Amino acid sequence: MKPVLSVVVPSYNVEQYLEKGLSSFADERFKGRLEVIIVNDGSSDRTHDIASEFVNRFSDIFVLIDKENGGHGSAVNRGIMYATGKYFRIIDGDDWINPDGMARLLDYLEKSSADIVIDNKREVHMVTGEEEYFAPPKTVDFGRTYSFDEVCLDPFITPNIMIHTMSVKTSLLRENNIHLLEGIFYVDIEFIIKSTVKAKTIEFTDFEVYQYLVGNQNQSINFKNYVKRFSHHSQVTRELIRFATHTEVDSVAKRRYLDRRIVLLINTHMNIALIYDVDRSRGLERARDFRKYLFGASKKFYVLTTPRYLVTLILHFCGVNYGKLQKLMRRKV
């Protein structure tokens, strides 16, 4: 029997976290139903050894793939290639799952035929231990099969459609040749956008599955790393502009959804250049270079993002930085 769910665990030098993460999958309830594909992405620490121990002890759950370092996207691409489950999802090597939530999810996925099934996550701060549960949208009916068009423009629902909550039909990924950029960070948004616009149906659950470790200064979403890896974010942004420009979608709602996601991504890109970067002249040059590119690549996205760009430019010249921006938006720094 094929497993109901394949989980790819991209793992690069995560010896400090991997045992906890893999232990959360080592559950008798998962045997024969869950396939955990550990992709060791050229690690130089004990990641391979730790993964091998779990494969030897639980060979009916874990599979290990060793490869040269190619980045997160490369690991996900390899997982899609080898997955045998009905559904597919991504859980990083420094994170873990709620076993009870996963057991409920597997029961659910066995019966579901939706293209995408959404569950829920909890963030755990690695230093303080502080936790935040991301509850499901109050406006959805759990277990109801929605057309993606029904929900993709709802601002109370779309924030819950994220890399940490999505189980996607493996056949959808393969039939649409979903392939991520390799060798760079920030491909999570690429996976979300490319898979969701191809989905016809979606379902929501109240299961808590993903346990997401936050507070690591090395995380790609740290604002300093956004600046450091600006070229990575630029590559992903340009790829998704290309995708949005040349990909056919089957409804007006999906086109609007796709455009909104790309606009938000471009706006973030300008924030990184103009607000996050402490080297203000470098950030301004980066922003202007990107705007020149955007004018030639997509007049539509150039026009759609101009109002926000002008506001961000004003904030830049007023000396607003990352911390001040967070305060303006009433977020914790």
> Is the pTM for the entire model greater than 0.75?
yes
The DSSP annotation for 230-298 comes to HHHHHHHHHHHHHHHHH---SSHHHHHHHHHHHHHHHHHHHHIIIII-S-HHHHHHHHHHHHHHHHHH-
- The confidence score (pLDDT) of residue 326 equals 80
pLDDT tens profile 49-81 = 999 999 999 999 999 999 999 999 999 999 999
pLDDT tens profile 152-171 = 999 999 999 999 999 999 99
Q: Which CATH superfamily is domain 5-116+159-200 in?
A: Spore Coat Polysaccharide Biosynthesis Protein SpsA; Chain A (3.90.550.10)
- The confidence score (pLDDT) of residue 330 equals 66
Q: What is the DSSP letter of 5?
A: E
pLDDT tens profile 209-234 = 999 999 866 555 578 899 999 999 99
- Ranges under pLDDT 70 in the chain: 216-221, 330-333
* Inter-CA distances, 295 with 29, 242, 292, Å: 54, 13, 5
Tokens of 316: 């830049």
- The confidence score (pLDDT) of residue 259 equals 97
* Inter-CA distances, 322 with 213, 272, 302, 331, Å: 22, 9, 24, 11
Residue keyed to tokens 């996925």: 109
Write down the domain spans for the chain. 5-116+159-200, 223-328
